[in-house]
Amino acid sequence: MYHYHVPNRNGLHPKSNIIKVTGEGELSIPPDSASVNLGVITEMKELTSAQQQNSVEVAKVINALQTLGIPKNLIQTLDYRIETEYDYEQGKQLFRGYKITHLLHVKLEELSLVGKAVDIAVQNGVNYVSNVQFSLKDKETYYLQALSLALNNASDKAKTIASTLHVTLLPTPIMVVEREPAVQPIPYSAGTLMKGINSTPIEPGLIKVKAVILAEFHYH
Helix (H, G, I), strand (E, B) or coil at 135: strand
pTM of the predicted model over 0.75: no
> Are residue 109 and residue 23 in the same domain, yes or no?
no
Question: Distance (Å, rounded) from C-alpha 102 to C-alpha 38?
Answer: 8
Cβ neighbors of 184 (< 8 A, separation 6 or more) are 207, 208
> Are residue 130 and residue 62 in the same domain, yes or no?
yes
pLDDT at residue 56 greater than cutoff 50: yes
201 within domain boundaries: no
- Arithmetic mean of pLDDT, 165-169: 94
> Are residue 37 and residue 119 in the same domain, yes or no?
yes
- What domain count does the chain have? 2
Question: Distance (Å, rounded) from C-alpha 204 to C-alpha 68?
Answer: 19
Domain that residue 143 falls in: 3-30+139-183+211-218
> Are residue 63 and residue 115 in the same domain, yes or no?
yes
CATH of the domain at 160: 3.30.110
> Are residue 94 and residue 123 in the same domain, yes or no?
yes
203 within domain boundaries: no
CATH of the domain at 48: 3.30.70.2970
pLDDT at residue 113 greater than cutoff 80: yes
